[in-house]
Structure 1
Amino acid sequence: MWREIAVVLSLLLVLTSISSKPLISYYSYDRSVKLNPEIIFFKEGANYKAYKVYYDSINGVRVPALLMLPKKGNPPYPCVVFLHGYGGRKEDALNIAEIAGAEGYAVFSIDAVYHGERKVPGKEMYSPNVTESISAVIQTVVDLRRGVDFLKTLSYIDGSRIGYLGGSMGGILGSIFIGVEHRIKAAVIIVGGGNMTLMIMTSIHPSVVKIREYMKQHNLTIDELKDVLQIIDPLNFINNTNIPIQFHLGRHDKIVPYEAGLQLYEKANQPKFLYVYDSGHDVPLDIVAIRVLDFFDKYLKEETWLISREQFRIIISMLIVLIMCSAIVAMVFYTYRLTKSGRAL
């Protein structure tokens, strides 16, 4: 009983706060506060050099991050800010840096709250403790914004060419981030979504299932949570920006339901681009990677090519099919000639 009372009081406090201030203000902070950055060499890949970075954010938090600089190209480099998915960590960006580094892109990645170096036993980003979850989302989004502050201090990073890439949880939080951070030039959202109530009621992700079980045990309805969740619903932020956004969705996704992703895409302003795959949450990353690079080349580097990577891939695929068909025809013709010659003898 006391636990139910605590939950209700917590929700009431959040609701009172929501009614008194605009949603975007939850993600504001004092940009003049010193970052006190620390940069340490971490490792080297075929196409990048990685450095561990630590800097100060709000609430006395020290944010752990990775900065991966490309071996190709000359500074200042265009940079892609990356946020991992649920249960991931900043090191997930190393594979991305291998691909992006070969094209001259720097990559910057942080650990979200309760992930990577910030993992806390028994704590999750999305949990029945609504106020704790909201605080974790806000903290992570502001930590990303402080990351942009850090990037803008580096002479070897082009502060006018900073993009964003996020998948799953990184796509959800990233949709808030690009709506409140106007120094991002272009963004890619992979299997992200909006409408938090829809996601809570339909997602099969284990953390969301726990929330539904908690609601049932404590007689909480989705209507009681709906207003509270407005603070962290990407639908309330995605249309605050007019930058180019590329969306990738899985038609059969049950982790971040396809309908939630489609609502997010529909709410975004133009220019926007949508790719839908006949897949679940795991979209075909080989095809996605090509489309993401083409997108960032155009909108972050502002480079134009006669033939894009995707067009080149299609041409090569068609040539391979043509060669195979020609080989089959040649074999059939050769077999026919042999058969005919045999009959003549």
Structure 2
Amino acid sequence: MSYSLEQLNRDGIPKLLHGISDKAEWEAKRQSIMRRWLECIGGLPESVPLRYEVLSETEEERHVRRHLRYDTADGDTVTAYLLVPKRGSREAAARQPAVLALHPTSNEGKADVATPQGRHNRRYGAELADRGYVVLAPDTITAGERVYEGASPYQTAPFYERYPQWTAVAKMIADHRQGVDLLVSLDYVDAGRIGAIGHSLGGYNAIFLAVADERIRAVVSSCGYATFTGDPNPGRWGRRDWFSHIPVITDELERGIVPFEWHEIAALAAPTPLFNWSGQADKIFPHWEPIAESMRDLHALYEWLGEPERMLSLDGTSAHDFPGPVRAAAYDFLDTWLKRHS
């Protein structure tokens, strides 16, 4: 399954349900998209046995922040913050909902979303912990405590030197699945109420994680979703001197095609509850009209699956940001699917 980029830019978003008349035909198409996705990202390894250590602990007013390190695939380790809400005696026996808070492109990694020192409109991990969620905020590869020795933040060259047939996208998914393993192991976490939230880099990682792991029961993506259609810089997803996501996309673009459209990848998680936010003044993903068009088509799939209320896509006049009113709506969405539907 591939598309001519020229045709996409001329004709618009391909329809998910084109030629689909029943659920069996959709499932066949879904499996075809999944095979193409896994082929492009180089596949996903099995998780490794869970092992983690607590490095330190910090008391905040309404939660405790634990600095962790845990094992992941390919002999690597992930550094993370685990935020645990402080609870009264009545709450002590109850298992709590949990969220992976995936950070945007910030050299500080997890600290940007999980500490008081994080940037304005980026501290969603800490805010959700204060709202009653157990929050795991991991460093992605190349950020925070996981910058490769001798490299700058977000330089993936050392990764590809070791794994030339794999991708940074698959590596991030594998690491985040390992984080889900950690959360479900905790006796104070409800394994049936785990979500993922992220802005920008963290936003599309949250979607990718939901595609790969059915234990994710709700997703929030802020300015992390885009389309190839209308993108002034589709090469952002391929090989770069900086952070290379999926190298094969560069090869495809050189032939004038793309291997999929991004709403097809998001559709692999349907009907997992999905909240998407896009800014019309976003200079990183400026093509908000085709983004909105693809979200409408994705919602048509949710409606066809009988779950229209499980998807909410918003766009507004802000830039590449996660403004307070939008975060409030996103948190209410998570509450709906991880607290009220428990």
TM-score greater than 0.5 by the shorter chain: yes
Partner in structure 2 of residue 238 of structure 1: 266
What are the superposed Cα offsets for residues 104-154 of structure 1, whole Å, 9 maximum, x if unpaired? 111111111111111131463678x99869621110111001110111111
Partner in structure 2 of residue 141 of structure 1: 173
Partner in structure 2 of residue 265 of structure 1: 295
Asked if the contact 2:142/2:156 (under 8 Å) is kept, the reply is no
Partner in structure 1 of residue 113 of structure 2: 93
In the TM superposition, residue 255 of structure 1 has moved relative to its aligned partner by: 0.6
Matched residue type, 1:265: M
Instruction: Compare relative contact order (CA 8 Å, sep 6+) and give the higher one, 1 or 2.
Output: 2
SS at match of 1:104: coil
2:337 to 296, 299, 302: 299
Q: 1:39 to 1:236 in 2, by over 3 A?
A: farther
Matched residue type, 2:104: G
Partner in structure 2 of residue 191 of structure 1: 223
Computing the radius of gyration over CA atoms, which structure comes out larger, 1 or 2? Answer: 1
Partner in structure 1 of residue 253 of structure 2: 222
Structure 2 spans left out of the alignment, 5+ residues: 1-31, 115-122, 244-249, 303-309
What are the superposed Cα offsets for residues 259-292 of structure 1, whole Å, 9 maximum, x if unpaired? 4643552453422112211112124x21022112
Pick the structure with more helix per residue: 1
Partner in structure 2 of residue 45 of structure 1: 60
Distance 2:129 2:60 in 1: 9
1:114 to 142, 155, 162: 142
Percent of aligned pairs with the same amino acid: 24
Distance 2:257 2:153 in 1: 22
Distance 1:84 1:77 in 2: 22
Partner in structure 1 of residue 283 of structure 2: 254
Matched residue type, 2:337: Y
Asked if the contact 2:222/2:321 (under 8 Å) is kept, the reply is no
Partner in structure 2 of residue 30 of structure 1: 46
SS at match of 1:300: helix
Distance 1:66 1:301 in 2: 22
Matched residue type, 1:111: D
Are positions 1:282 and 2:282 aligned together? no
In the TM superposition, residue 97 of structure 1 has moved relative to its aligned partner by: 3.9
Larger mean Cα displacement after TM superposition, 140-149 or 93-102? 93-102
1:60-75 matches, cutoff 5 A: 60-72=75-87, 73-74=91-92, 75=94
Partner in structure 1 of residue 70 of structure 2: 55
How many pairs align? Answer: 274
Normalised to the residue count of structure 2, the TM-score between the two structures is 0.69
What are the superposed Cα offsets for residues 33-76 of structure 1, whole Å, 9 maximum, x if unpaired? 31221123331211110112222211111111111001145442
Q: 1:67 to 1:57 in 2, by over 3 A?
A: same
In the TM superposition, residue 246 of structure 1 has moved relative to its aligned partner by: 0.8
Distance 2:133 2:312 in 1: 21
Matched residue type, 2:274: I
Structure 1 spans left out of the alignment, 5+ residues: 1-17, 212-218, 305-345
What are the superposed Cα offsets for residues 164-184 of structure 1, whole Å, 9 maximum, x if unpaired? 101111112222211111111
SS at match of 1:152: helix
Distance 1:169 1:68 in 2: 21
Asked if the contact 1:244/1:272 (under 8 Å) is kept, the reply is yes
In the TM superposition, residue 210 of structure 1 has moved relative to its aligned partner by: 7.3
Asked if the contact 1:45/1:98 (under 8 Å) is kept, the reply is no
SS at match of 2:233: helix
Matched residue type, 2:315: V
Distance 1:42 1:122 in 2: 28
